[in-house]
Amino acid sequence: MELIYVPWLTSAAKTLSAFLFVLYVVVPVLVKTNPWIFSKILFLHFLKFPYFVDLKRPDKRGIKGCKNFYIKVNEKVTLGAWQTLPADLLEGDSSQLNSGHPIILYLHGRAGTRAQPHRIELYKVLSSMNFHVIAIDYRGFGDSSGTPTEEGVLEDTYRTYKWIRDRSDKVPLYIWGHSLGSAISTNLLKHLNQKGESVDGLILESPFNNLWDASRRHPMSLPFRFLPWFEWVFIDSMKKVVDYCTEDNIMEIDEPLLILHAADDHIIPVQCGRELHNKVEHYRKGRSYTMYKEFDKHLGYRHCEIYKDPELPSTIRFDWCWEKTLKLLQCETTFGWEKYIMDNPDKLRIIILGKTGAGKSKTGNSILGRDAFRYGDYGSSVTSICQMKTSGRFGKKIDVVFDTDQDKKCIQQQNGNTCYTNSDYKKVELMLQERMKEENEDIDVVQNSEEFYLKIIESSMASYEIEDWVKPVNTFVLLGRPGSGKSRTGNTITGCNKAFEFGFHSKRTSKKCESKLTEICEAEVCVIDTPGVSVFEKQDFEDIQSALPEDGPSKIIFLLCVSIGRLTHDEISLINQNFDVFGDEFADNTIIIFTHLDEWESDMNDCNENPKFDSYLNTLPEQTKTIFRRFHNRYLPLNNKQKKREETQWTLKLMTIANSMQGFNMPYNFPT
């Protein structure tokens, strides 16, 4: 049989063989011997698309109220940034971040600049919702100087956070991370939490649970996935140079979390977002709010176009962050409303009472999450009829109804009896009154409405008095050995440096507990400073009992103060004694406070080492890690030299963690 020679077929076979050799031999060898390649692949900063765009002129990209500016990170790095104004400020001259409008810090993905079309469209959506939007290009991206690295990008984002906070101390701040930006944002929040700082919420768009799973599922890995050495060559090499693990970072933060993912995402498959949400839900177990929203395939949003969804504004503004409303109602932190709201049925009707100027309209707007009711100047009224507005939040239908200074007949005529007596709804009355003013008018409002509203409450599924919402006194009991920083921690919580004496100069000679009462955002807090001991005895137990507040129940949270460093044998022994005395519930109701953070950071800087708190935790002996795991890794580092504003933020962070805990019930007798 004679073979026929086909020149072009032979040439094609050679080309294919060469291609396969490069793909399955040369590339794996290069990757395995040069893992730094992954850092170049991770940050595609050289792809500065869209090209030929003047980043200094955002107005040329069709964005109203957007200005270009620069943030200096250090002597070598300057970041290019845009600020897009909220819609309310587009017609005015003000661009100040302290205008009172909430702020979103937008962190983009691995390629392109802040001027990419889909990013611009998102800025417009957020602007229409009255957010300030700060969008930056990391070092090396866009017109920013430098070369991106994981540590460098963290420095960029933290410096941007400080730049925002310096200009807007008390304005709500949220972080939005897209794609790789989701991992960068959780890296930033983890860093902030270790410093005792925080933001008001986190939005992750198209996130991955960890970089390794995302790489396995990425289209670029398709030719290699079936190979038996794929993990050894690619994944193991990647882990040597990059460490973006979103799921691990989120385990160390408590901010409200919203995850957005399109089911047809072709870059980061939706399975990554689902797994991230499942792990976060399992870990948090309701301690902090988490919401996951998946967009159906037929919508065609893929990786970058979730901004097109018409329901996105309501999802961002209302559904995902009950804490936002709670902070408005309860002065920047939450004390018990979460459980009350969660215990209600799917339909909730809130009826607001109060005289003119008591703030009914603003309260209703806070609950609904939008400007549904008009309001006027302090002490005046712009509402002439009783109104009812509806919102869908947190998976519930919520009606907010408030009266004016009208009589019950007018209210009934305007809304109908079914507005109040529909048995499908649970009703809640809020009676508002202004402080530092005469209360006679308020009493009249209640008395005049009593008969009518009594019928409303009787027809409801249940009724509540204000006292039902009052939480027990938050009581922090400081524990630790001498010199562990208990007293200074107590001073930070109380906001007074002289509440508890500390240091070697202290004149305190009593071995009794000392307690101080304080108010944090209108909530009563008791702080009990125990004397430093090496052995926990019966007398110490009785002293704590006697120091507890006498009025009302106490929600006891232990603060175990530990100096940053190696745990000594005596400290470990004292912790074990606490378990013997208080039982297994001790771990569930204890927060570890790592004190003397400032001294440790100074020592690290003197040694030319990076003072990353998570690095310190990783260097601890396995025995110590095991002990800390018993406390569910619930800890806060404390810098005793931080500024007053940072102390306040640290205290609010502590209160947020404490609010998610059940509280310890003190036994009556010392165990024998």
* Active site residues per annotation: 179, 265, 303
Return d(Cα 391, Cα 349) in angstroms, integer.
Answer: 10
Q: Which token pair is 318?
A: 């209302």
In SS3 terms, 475-508 reads as EEEEECCCCCCHHHHHHHHHCCCCCCCCCCCCCC
Beta-sheet strands, E only, within 456-570: 473-479, 514-520, 523-529, 554-563
Q: For residue 643, how many C-alpha atoms fall within 13 Å in the half-sphere facing its CB?
A: 5
Which residues have CB under 8 Å from 204's CB, separation 6+? 177, 182, 185, 186, 246, 257, 258, 259, 260, 273, 276
Q: Is 33 exposed, middle or buried (0-12, 13-18, 19+ CB in 10 A)?
A: exposed
Return d(Cα 252, Cα 188) in angstroms, integer.
Answer: 11
Return d(Cα 586, Cα 5) in angstroms, integer.
Answer: 83
Buried-exposed string 331-366: b where 16+ CB fall within 10 A, e elsewhere: ebbbbbbbeebeebeeebbbbbbbbebbbbbebbbb
Q: Is 10 exposed, middle or buried (0-12, 13-18, 19+ CB in 10 A)?
A: exposed
Neighbour count for residue 322 (Cβ, 10 Å): 20
Output the CA–CA distances (angstroms, integers) from residue 117 to 179, 280, 305, in the order listed.
16, 31, 10
Peptide bond preceding 269 in cis form (omega within 30 of 0): no
Return d(Cα 189, Cα 181) in angstroms, integer.
Answer: 12
**Count helices and strands in the chain by DSSP H and E runs:** 26, 18
Q: Which token pair is 661?
A: 């805990």
Q: Which token pair is 112?
A: 């392109």
Neighbour count for residue 318 (Cβ, 10 Å): 19
Cα of 485 vs its chain's centroid, Å: 27
Question: Tokens 């869209």 correspond to what residue?
Answer: 50
The pair phi, psi for residue 426, each rounded to 5°, is -95, 135
Q: Which token pair is 417?
A: 């009896």
Beta-sheet strands, E only, within 313-448: 347-353, 387-393, 396-402, 426-431
Return d(Cα 253, Cα 615) in angstroms, integer.
Answer: 16
In SS3 terms, 23-50 reads as HHHHHHHHHHHCCCHHHHHHCECCCCCC
N-term to C-term CA, the chain? 99
Mapped onto helix, strand or coil, the DSSP state of residue 602 is helix
What DSSP string describes 166-195?
HH-TTS-EEEEEETHHHHHHHHHHHHHHHT
Return d(Cα 250, Cα 284) in angstroms, integer.
Answer: 10
Question: Which residues pair with residue 82 across a beta bridge?
Answer: 68, 135
Return d(Cα 525, Cα 549) in angstroms, integer.
Answer: 10
Neighbour count for residue 498 (Cβ, 10 Å): 8
